Amino acid sequence: MAESQKLTHGKLAVLVLLSLLSSGAWAGSDIQFLQQKAIYWQNHGRSDLAANTWEQLLLVDPSNPDALAALAMIADQSGQQQKAIDYLDRLKSVAPQSPDIARIAAAMSVSPQRGRLLQQAAALLARNAYAAAVSAYDQALQGKPVPPNLAAGYFNALANVPGGRPRAIFMLQELVKTQHQDPQYALVLGQLLTYAPDSRAQGIDLLAHLAEGHGAMRESARQSWRQALVWEGAAPAAIPLLRAYLQRYPDAILAAQLQKAEATAMAIRRGAVQRAISAQQASLLIRERAGYAALHVGRLKESEQIFTKLLRAHPQNWHYLEALADIHLAAHQFPDAINAYQQEEAIAPVDQRPAIAKKIQLARSYATLHLASNAAHSGEYDMAIHYYRRVLNGSPNNIVALEGLAGAYVAQQKYPEAIALYRKAVISEPNKASLWISLIGVLHSAGQDDAALEAARSIPTVVRSAAEKEAGYWAVIGGAYAGLKDYVQARAAFQKATRIGVGASPALRLQLAWVLYNSGAYDALQHILDQINGQPLTPDQQEQLKKLTVLSAKQKANAAVKSNDYRRARAILQTLSAKYPGDPVIRRAITNIRLLEAWQLYRDKNDQQLYALLMRLRITANLTASQQRQLQEIFRYGADREAGAFISGKHYRAAAAIYHNMIQLFPEMPHYTRQLANVYLSAGQSRDAYRLFRHVGPGNTPGGYAEAVSAAFAAHALDQAWQWAQKGLSFWPDNPALLELAAQLADARGNPVSALAYYQELLHQMPSGTRRPAAISPAITVAEPMPPFAGD
């Protein structure tokens, strides 16, 4: 089957358990099944599979002390010290009198070297490298007796080494004699004896004795006792063993096994079985037992092959169809499971069909959840929502479906719908910390930060203590405070998150960095950014880191600018530009500082450096429109100031050279052509001035019109001068300079009456009168050094 049609074993187990728990069906039997499965893997040295099963059990019963103790010990043996501490703390909280607490604490005190050897031994055992595992255990123990917490792993490994089983049994028997105060050795010995048919009865006796006690091994011994009886099957010899167990513990499966054994014994006594059972039937019974045994230990392909052959030989045996259906369900092959259950339902006895119908419905729910999960992971959220709703139609409080549907709505940013679902989920499962964290998170995402903090205050006290051990809890709390701009509380929350295990992830550090930036804690921000640098980041996280780095650098550069330290500001941003070459934001920031530096040079009247800087900026690519306007403005201010100084000193050649250079640089700006015309006019070169005004016009100021009229007048272009004067007066009828020029022009054109009228208006506007200065004779024949704005 294609990989996309399968869920991982762990995910399906979670779905199964939560579905059963939400419906209230079979919870007790599920816990018992998981305990048996976990102990089986633990006793066989597969701590990885045992841990997975214990974690599944905690989803059903979060306060189960056996699961917490086992997970603490497994985490310690695998080198996950913080995880072991967390499980031990939970065990102390739910079962403070548990004798496992002292045993686990003692085990956690081993040296790091010994811990590594034990971790290596467990890994080798998981790969069935039994001889190497025994060697690693021996190195760790250094000749000391095997401690109780390592007994299961060590002796199971030793028993699988050629010739090692008798030695393992002998060593355990000696430890039981000398260390009788610790029942762990007796438990492992009893389990080891039950693995072989010839010593199974002896092992059962030992396990039964342990199950009668009151110690921590009682439940483990009972489960191992029960498993040994399952392996013993329905043989008549097992009847007294089965009766002894059932007198103390009700068990439907073993009761049926006893009934079958008694029937077999009765048949034997009557002689019927001896005549009826042929060699073929005996072989059939052996194959059945092998198929069920393979199914129970998770060897699904082997079990499927056995029952497929059995069904082919006995097509009307509905038990074989049920076994195949169970195999398909465990392998997450939901269509095949449903089909097999339906075939079973068609041929099963009438009284069995309601139970089979429930299994069909359950398989369909699992299949629908599988489809919903696949759709969500593929980003097809509408399809996922459709499937999750189908599950909820039949099971409205199914936690897996509620969480999945809420998650799909969050992905679509449909926060009101997600909030309603999470609120329903926490009502249904108020003791599940992850649901509360999700509710707070989606309220924050929806911008309801006050409501998010109120939800946090509503968490039950017992659950809050568990939630506060999760980095995700403090992350959403920090996000809510940040949304309310309470950066002090937000910073404290995110710092707690980063101190919790995997809480020091780049995602959380980035959230803390944003809070530090928004609160102005720039020194602390740089420290966090240094921690994030070099860590593996997603593309979005890389973009956030870059943005924060740029903002931090710009803040430092701005501080340098405020101190007029432009060189330091540029150095900061140029270092940043080297890190992110070609970034337009950084490039624009550097240009802005260059422009600020240019304004400072202008104010300092350092025209030499100002012109050089402006010329470098002019050839800078990709200036913004605002930067282009500012650059042109500084050029204009600098050129006009420098030219004005030369005009005042009658150095017209230098002033003209400045404007000639400006016209070359900015041919699209008529301002410089008009200014050059004014230089010519001041130097008495009226014809040159008039020629330029004819080219670019007088502009849009009264001064510009007055200068153009003066140039035309001086060049004897009276008609053009008159037109410009009249147009200027139409815009500014009270301008004294234009009135005076109009009067002079009217007089020159032989219209004294009109001239008198203009003079009278001029006197009315300016009683003191004004007089235009006489033209200044140019002195541009003497060579002189050119100023900076005159160019090369």
Number of helices followed by number of strands (H, E) in the chain: 43, 0
d(CA 49, CA 404): 26
Token representation of residue 296: 């129970």
Q: What pLDDT sits at residue 766?
A: 63
511-517: long-range contacts (C-beta < 8 A, 24 or more apart)?
A: 511/475, 511/478, 511/479, 511/482, 512/478, 513/548, 514/482, 514/544, 514/548, 515/478, 515/482, 515/487, 515/490, 515/491, 516/491, 517/548, 517/551, 517/552
Which range, 460-469, 491-500, 535-544, has the best average confidence (pLDDT)?
A: 460-469
Better pLDDT: 727 or 223: 727
pLDDT in tens, 598-652: 898 889 888 888 888 888 888 876 889 898 999 999 989 999 998 998 998 899 9
pLDDT at 412: 87
The answer to whether the CB of 683 falls within 8 A of the CB of 780 is yes
User: In this predicted model, what pLDDT tens digit does every residue of 129-143 receive, in sequence order?
Assistant: 888 888 888 888 878
Coil vs helix vs strand at 330: helix
Radius of gyration of the chain, Cα coordinates, nearest whole angstrom: 46
Q: In the chain, what are the domains?
A: 38-108 (1.25.40.10), 112-232 (1.25.40.10), 364-542 (1.25.40.10), 706-765 (1.25.40.10)
pLDDT band, very low/low/confident/very high, at 720 (cuts 50, 70, 90): very high
Q: How far apart are CA 677 and CA 5, in angstroms?
A: 84
Contact present, 556 and 526 (Cβ < 8 Å): no
Q: Average pLDDT for residues 318-336, to the nearest whole number?
A: 86
Q: What is the pLDDT of residue 770?
A: 40
CA–centroid distance for 91 within its chain = 30
Distance CA 136, CA 154 (A): 10
Q: How far apart are CA 41 and CA 322, in angstroms?
A: 25
Task: Check residue 781 and give its pLDDT.
Answer: 37
pLDDT for residue 776 is more than 60: no
| Average pLDDT of the segment spanning 689-707 | 90
- From 666, 693, 669, 671, select the one nearest 681 (Cα to Cα): 693
Q: How far apart are the first and last CA of the chain?
A: 79
pLDDT of residue 273: 43
Phi, psi for 486 (deg, rounded to 5): -90, 80
pLDDT score recorded for residue 634: 92
Residue 601 CA from chain centroid, whole number: 49
Contact 425, 402 (CB under 8 A): yes
521 has pLDDT over 60:
yes
Q: Above 90 in pLDDT, residue 727?
A: yes
Distance CA 159, CA 164 (A): 5
Q: What is the pLDDT of residue 2?
A: 38
